[in-house]
Every structure is written in C-alpha cells, then in structure tokens.
Amino acid sequence: MTRLPATVVFDLDGTLVDTAPDLCAAMNYALQKLGRPTVPAEIARDMAGQGARKLIEKGLKVSGDAPAELVEAGLPHFLSFYAGHIADESRIFPGVEAALDALAAAGCRLAICTNKPVALSIALVAAVGWDGRFVANLGFDSVPSPKPDPAHLFATIAAAGGDPATTAYVGDSITDTMTARAAGVPVVAVSFGFSDRPVTELGADVIIDHYDELLPALRALRR
C-alpha cells in the first residue's frame, strides 16, 4: 500500500472545525457595537473564511458602506466576543476524529497552519478537546508573512519537525491552495468548507467530500 505523507498540515476554520456559527455571532456583536443591523444566519454563514476584518467588512456592506476605519473599530469588539464564545456552536466536521486517529496511529506528524490569531487557534483546539493532537499550531501572527505566503506553511512544517518533500496540506479555500502551490506541497481540498468559489476551482490535487476519504486521498498524492 502507498505510504502516507510523514507530515499532514491542516487549515483550521472550515477544514477541521465548522466555526461559522461562532464567527458570525462575533461579527453580529461587532455590527451591533458599530450601530449597524445584524446579518441573518443564513446569509452570514457564506461570509466566513477570510479572517475577522473581511468578515466585519462584509457584514457592514450588507447595510451600507464599510470604510477601513469602521472595520478597524469593530475588530476589538469582534475579537473580545469571539474569545469568550469560541466554541459555543462550533462543531468538528464528521469523520475528522477518526481520520486524525488513523493518521496518528500511522505515525504521521499533524500540524495546523491557520490565519486565525494563534492564541485563538490554541483556544479553539483546547475547547474541542484536541490538546496534544497537533505537534505545531501556527497562526497568522506566528510568522512575519501569513498565508498565502508559503513561508507560513514552511514554518509550520519546520515546527512540526517535518520536511516539505514528505508533507501534504489539507484546506478549504483558495488561500490554502495558493499557499500549498507556492510551497510545492500537494494539497487536498474539502468540499464543505468556507470557500468563496466552487471547490473545483481551487486547483487542489484531490477534493474530498467527507473525512472518510482523507487517507485514500493522501495516499493517492504519494503515487
């Protein structure tokens, strides 16, 4: 049987965990503080996945303009609310636990490379019961240049004790596939994340619709 990659690096939001409900709740809290209307959940969900600033900007644009200074004014409200409600409604995607167990049993190093602030990434990992699961967890503020700069992924691989030549990346967005491509690392895209475009347009090596498909997909990358 084809071997698995020695190191598997994951994006976090929209890839391992469905964080949209809590991200959108934080956005709506910030909008309220800015004196703007909140955004209905069915609309807000499609806005997640490009960071806090972009989420606030999108929320503001629903009801009017979104000047940079207003986005920045909303950011502290967003971050303080989100930190206190980081996993109220967030849920691990189906099949993730079993896939992580199988990868760990096979001796793979597991790591997270996210554009979430590292403190919030660590807090979310702890909140869902994953302390000790990942040997590295680097957020956007862990490096000088975050994703899509490949330096972020290289730094994560190095922190995990891995080698880019034997690493695969798993993500859900164009940012993730751009990062992996720039790093020369093969990439798997999940079809159920926060992508702003069809998953078929991301340029991933393999697309999966459920985590049951992850290990076969990773083995296919090694052929």
Q: Measure the CA angle with vertex 153, ends 147 and 157; round to 5°.
A: 160
Residues 183, 7 contacting (CB under 8 angstroms): no
11 is catalytic: yes
Exposed (0-12), middle (13-18) or buried (19+): which is 175, by Cβ within 10 Å? buried
Chain-centroid distance of CA 90 in Å reads: 13
Residues 178, 160 contacting (CB under 8 angstroms): no
Q: Considering 11, 22, 172, 176, which one is annotated as catalytic?
A: 11
- Supply the angle between the helices 52-63 and 20-33 in degrees, to the nearest 10: 60
**C-alpha–C-alpha distance, residues 147 and 202, integer Å:** 15
Residues 22, 81 contacting (CB under 8 angstroms): no
17-18 vs 91-92, strand pairing mode: antiparallel
* Residues taking part in catalysis: 11
